[in-house]
Amino acid sequence: MDSKYLIGIVAVIIIAVIAGAVLMGGSSTHRADDELVVAAYSHGGEPEAGFDPILGWNYLAEPLIQSTLLKMTPNMEYKNDLATSWKANSNFTQYTVNIRDDVKFTDNTTLDAEDVAFTYNEAAKNGASDLDFTSLKNATAKNSTTVVFDLNRPDSTFVDKFAYLGIVPSDSYNNNTYGSHPVGSGPYKFVQWDKGQQVILEKNNDYYGKQPEFKKLTILFEMNDAAFNSAKKHEVDVAAVPLAYANETVDGYKMNLLDTIDVRGLSLPVVNDTGNKTADGNPIGNNVTGDKAIREALSYGINRTTIAKGALNGFGYPNFDGIAHQLPWANAQVNNISDGNVTQAKKILSDAGWKDTDGDGIVEKNGTKASINVYYSAEASERQAIAVTLAEQAKEFGIEINAIGSNWDEMDSHVNSDPIVWGWGSTDPSTMYNQYYSNLSGHEYSNPASVNNSAVDGHINNAMKMDRNSSYSEWSAVSWDGSTGISPLGDAAWLWVGEIKYGYYVDDSLDISEKTALLQPHGGDIFSNIYDWHRVSSIEK
Amino acid sequence: MANSNNGPSIYNPFAKLNLRTKTLITIGLSVFILVIVVISSLFINSGDITTNFQAMNKPPSFEHFFGTDWMGRDMFTRTLKGLGLSVQIGAGASILSSLIAIVLSFIGSTNRFLDGVISWLVDLFLSIPHILLIILISISLGGGAFGVTVGVALTHWTSLTRVLRAEIKQIKTSDFVKLSERFGKSKLWIARKHILPLVTTQIIVGTILIFPHAIMHEASVTFLGFGLSPHEPAIGIILSESMKYLATGNWWLALFPGLSLLILVLLFDIAGENIKKILDPTSANE
């Protein structure tokens, strides 16, 4: 009979899977001590468009193949890299950057101001959508070592962009081919890209900065359990794993947990659904989260400490406003909120007229049931855990959360109308401009909650006109300025939950110099201090 | 099922029973277990399978028969819920499939042209891999349990249609059908009074035997990540999630749900084969 075959096949599959797990191991690829094999990379895994900074390659992280004008330091200040000096005019609408004159691309052409101007102009015109160069009007090379950036609005955060974008050679750049044959001036040069598998880089001996110790760097595009298995098989020096694996022990490896400024939270659309649509035709607003009482009840009712301990495997850190607690513009008042208060959440709801009239444990108001859909990316296990835990917690005070695992293509149409579990975090405060500035709502992932608060806009406008150190207080006021803001104390426009950590299994023979590592931005930046990595002993074979 | 002839012993009470009783007992037992699975799964509200991060990745114990997963959820209840869902989808799909098969095979019997169209349809559907068709259909219907059910239903009617079509053709050549035609009975009358009673056995057995296929395909589709959210308890989702944690040594996440699926499918197969023996005694001697 046909079904007997089916049964047989399933039995064989189950046995094979279990046997495979038991027999995991076997031969491993050998690598020399001066070579690195790493199953870790930055945001989003293998770059679809290749290693082209203009198309998004390692925008928030060390691009390796290319180099940047400035570099971030662990104490969150910028130091010169390609740049020798930079200055901005008094209202931050024009930046002048002087660059080194001794830098060569790996194709032996000289990197000059024209290449810098070209890269920035190209990124502003044709760049990937997650690159934020909306404030750049034009970049011009004044002479071979001076670039002038003219902006169309005051933007004191433009200095952050100097640390993000790798410079490409203007003469040979072609946006169709560059991604798979990149040429740059970074610490490593490109050798080979086996799509779907790995990229091989070789040390750039002409690099002008501190030379890394390792001659060859192979980045494997393995994720999650595949990366974990590679570590178990001793095939890699570093393996990035989800937090759910971080409590395992792997022989010959130590678990390095790097601090991040990467925060997980939900956008709660603050407007009601009145039938308005975005330019792409997606609905705007949500009749449940449009009521401030619902947003407040969620903000005070859920227990972020429990989530940090549970869903984030004990590595989380509660967060209330999306600003990681290590950042200089973190808001102390907001971070002192006490949550997990179910009684308070119930009171907020009943004061606003949300009552459970039909006895199903979920409150209603004017015939609307307090039931919301929360979308999460099915690939991210920590987002799934957050969504599921939130659903359980919210039920206790009468709000129903239906967690829906999805993909970004599908979620795109829900961005402005349903809560979505987001991950955000960078040392660039302009992420707050993208998240909360009223005018930006409806454009892709900008301001998904449709925040429209003139005080918030005002603080952002002010911060954009102030130099970095003095702007911190204005950025912090976006969260809460004593009378309003986006945090639970004000509009409660987002339900921020917690900061995560990035977990890497690192071979015992390798020191990744944790103390010089940068605070990891969203997506991670494991290679930020590759110059300081050091092989302390021979690899155990 | 097939052990009736190897050395009956007077000490073995089962051996004293005749084939009919044994068959009935087998059917009774398997149907009983299946019904228990479905009923108990109906009493589990998926919202009640809560996370418990204090008890993550616990191996099987008396508290958690099937252990717990990475969010500390009890795998026994999740598996039971998943099996229940599988059976429901399987039921929906096999009943729909059978209805399609009945309608198509009767339409095909009315005239030669329609018969050609229907055999062509059967060939068409058989020539596309089931799993691809199911994924295509369930995605175009917006996914979810509904999409998967319809997807499975629209792909599993082919073999039953073929069987019924052949059966009906044979019956139509028999003398009593010809006689009724001479008496001027309508085609509908012949279909109802002559053909339908004779193919009922095929229909019932066919429907039950679609079950295991439907369940397997439901599990495969959810295993591949189509249809349902990854936190929902469906057997395929449970199995695909277990793959991620096999590397960390959590063997119970795959073993018990996998075995349960296997047993469930086997039970349907046993029930189907034995019901066939009862309804169609000639096949009992095969």
HEC assignment per residue over B97-139: HHHHHHHHHHHHHHCHHHHHHHHHHHHHHHHCCHHHHHHHHHH
In DSSP notation, B128-194 reads S-HHHHHHHHHHHTTSHHHHHHHHHHTTSSHHHHHHHHHHHHHHHTSHHHHHHHHTT--HHHHIIII
Q: Which of A11, A14, A229 is nearest to B254 (CA)?
A: A14
**Residue for token digits 């999306």?**
A322
CB contact under 8 A, A229 and B258: no
Q: What confidence tier does B218 reach under pLDDT thresholds 50, 70, 90?
A: confident
Residue B52: φ, ψ to 5°: -150, 95
- Using the predicted structure, report yes or no on whether residue B1 has a pLDDT greater than 50: no
Q: How far is A488 from chain B (nearest CA, A)?
A: 26
Closest C-alpha among A61, A173, A187 to residue A121: A173
**Phi/psi at A73 (5° precision):** -115, 165
Confidence band of A296 (pLDDT split at 50, 70, 90): very high
pLDDT tier at A373, thresholds 50, 70, 90: very high
Give per-residue pLDDT as tens, B38-59: 888 888 877 677 788 878 888 8
Q: Which chain B residues have a beta carbon less than 8 Å from that of A6?
A: 212-213, 216, 265
* pLDDT given for residue A541 in this prediction: 60
Cβ pair A196, A212 in contact under 8 A: no
Q: In this predicted model, what pLDDT tens digit does every residue of B248-261 receive, in sequence order?
A: 888 888 899 999 99
pLDDT band, residue A44 (cuts 50/70/90): low
**Interchain contact B70–A (C-beta under 8 A):** yes
Tell me whether residues B47 and A378 touch, CB distance under 8 A: no
| CB atoms B216 and A10 under 8 Å | yes
Q: Which of A18-27, A379-388, B72-81 has the lowest mean pLDDT?
A: A18-27
Q: Distance (Å, rounded) from C-alpha B130 to C-alpha B132?
A: 6
Who wins on pLDDT, A153 or A4?
A: A153
Q: What is the mean pLDDT of residues B170-199?
A: 87
Across the interface, of A225, A309, A392, the residue whose CB is closest to B244 is: A225
Look at residue A99 in the predicted model and tell me its pLDDT: 92
Which one of A371, A382, A388 makes the best mutation probe of the B interface by having the most chain B beta carbons within 10 Å? Answer: A388
Q: How does pLDDT run across A223-249, given as a tens digit for each residue? A: 888 888 888 888 899 999 888 888 888
Average pLDDT over residues A208-237: 88
pLDDT band at A478 (very low <50, low <70, confident <90, very high): very high
Lowest pLDDT segment from A124-133, A441-450, A499-508:
A124-133
Contact assignment for B216 to A6 by CB distance below 8 Å: yes
Q: Tell me the pLDDT tens digit for each residue of A171-191.
A: 899 888 998 999 999 999 999
Of A54, A73, A74, residue with least CA distance to A65 = A54
Cβ contact, residue pair A6, B251, below 8 Å: no
> Which residue from A minimizes the CA distance to B143?
A406
CA dist., res. B225 & res. B241, Å (int) = 10
CA–centroid distance for A534 within its chain = 27
DSSP state of A413: G
Query: In 10 A of CB A153, how many CB atoms?
Result: 13
The DSSP annotation for B258-278 comes to: HHHHHHHHHHHHHHHHHHHHH
Interface check B1 vs A, CB under 8 A: no
Which among A228, A245, A311 has CB closest to B53?
A: A311
Domain B100-286 has CATH 3.10.20.600: no
- Cα angle vertex A483, ends A477, A485, to 5°? 45
